[in-house]
Structure 1
Amino acid sequence: MEFGQAHSNFIEAHTNGRTGERRGRLLRGHNFAEKLFLQNVWWPLFESLEQLHPEYEVYDWNRKSQFLDFAFLPQNGTRFGIECDGYQSHIKDMDREKFNYALNRDTFLTGMGWKMLHFSFDDIQQRPEVCRMLLQLALAPYLARSRVAGEQLLSGEKDVLRLAWQMGRPLRPKDVTDYFEINFRTARKLLSVLSEKGLLQPVAGGRGIRSYVLRPMHQDQSW
């Protein structure tokens, strides 16, 4: 399915499922910046809008209703709040009281278990590859467990995945041996197992596999 049709279905489904102010907020609040985030950043990574909720209602410490641009609620129970921040509306026109409240709200939601992610409209529009990289870096550690289809990642495998996320380039067996001070055979075994579990993708070169990259995080039924 193309993004345009997927987005139309997405908004229609959420609109039909809401009433009152929650419905009105979706119709008023989901605008150009939010759609562009989905098109430029989210869709290229996931090719799906499942488990994503636009204009999601949350409450602050005074039980005052607020709306996040998006909430991503994967089946593993992790809660991500995603905000698309424009300079004009979020910084330039914000007085001290609103600025303080915005910071306190994010801290409160963090304390309540939310993981808050902010992306500037300029980056969404002009540098979406930066946003995709940061989004993948933020989400990958929490979603990797769901992609193993019920298998548990061993401690060493998790460490190798973290190294791959940190390096931001193809991971070589030599990188693993140097970083963890283990022998080459063990490093190759760890990389091979992660490839078999669908978390790393081998990159061929020369006479065989020379490095591995993180697989794109497309959603599947196990998420």
Structure 2
Amino acid sequence: MEHEMVSLSGVRIYGDYFWRDFRLIVETDGFAAHAENMTRDRFSFERMRIRTFALYGYRYMPFSWDELDKKPEMCRRTLYELLGRYSTNTGEDFMELLVYERELLRYALRLGRPFRMTDVCYCLQLGHIASRRVVRSMLNKKLIVSTGQGTQRLHEFQLTAKAADLLLL
């Protein structure tokens, strides 16, 4: 889950855990390496890393190892709160979508993998024909794309950048 990127100065930097769909980087820091034994140069480097994450448009969520060890529920709640805020957009463009389309977007984002028609039927609690209409509408709106090679029979779909923007902005 570690994510590599290049800073503006050309240095390779890494985020501990990267969630592409949420544009989220979660860091886990130990006290000794990130506070007790930190030099001025290392401190400046860490600030540059955080600025680079921001410049790339990522949300940054740091946790200490002590917090993860002693207060795991608080860490989990914090992460769920953040994910909840950024996965339930109520902007005008989002609200113009049909309720089935909005629900399928949320579901597909939570799945974190390409989805199939069986997933659509399960999520929307609709039959195959009605689910296919929703998928066709979303394809026409360019909210999803087919991940397969075929042009006649489409089996797997994934969210487009347009859909992610609707959900996460």
Q: TM-score, normalised by structure 1?
A: 0.41
Counterpart-to-counterpart distance in 1, 2:31 and 2:95 = 41
The correspondence of residues 204-223 of structure 1 with structure 2, limited to 5 A, is 219-220=110-111, 221=115
Q: CA offset at residue 110 of structure 1?
A: 0.4
Question: Any idea what the Cα deviations from partners look like across 1:51-93, whole Å, max 9, x if unmatched?
Answer: xxx221111111111111111011xxx4211110111111111
Counterpart-to-counterpart distance in 2, 1:137 and 1:55 = 22
Structure 1 stretches (4+) deviating beyond 4 angstroms? Answer: none
Q: CA offset at residue 219 of structure 1?
A: 2.6
Q: May I ask how many residue pairs the two structures share in their alignment?
A: 102
The correspondence of residues 183-222 of structure 1 with structure 2, limited to 5 A, is 219-220=110-111, 221=115
CA RMSD in angstroms comes to 2.6
Question: What residue is the counterpart of 1:132 in the other structure?
Answer: 76
Question: Any idea what the Cα deviations from partners look like across 1:25-55, whole Å, max 9, x if unmatched?
Answer: xxxxxxxxxxxxxxxxxxxxxxxxxxxxx22
Q: CA offset at residue 112 of structure 1?
A: 2.0
AA partner of residue 63 (structure 1): G
Question: What residue is the counterpart of 2:94 in the other structure?
Answer: 152
2:8 to 54, 61, 71: 61
Structure 1 vs Structure 2: percent identity of aligned residues?
A: 24
For the residue of structure 2 that corresponds to 1:140, the secondary structure is helix
**Which consecutive unaligned segments of at least 5 residues does structure 2 have?**
116-157, 160-169
**Which consecutive unaligned segments of at least 5 residues does structure 1 have?**
1-53, 146-150, 155-192, 199-217
For the residue of structure 1 that corresponds to 2:94, the secondary structure is coil
1:120 to 64, 70, 77: 64
Q: TM-score, normalised by structure 2?
A: 0.53
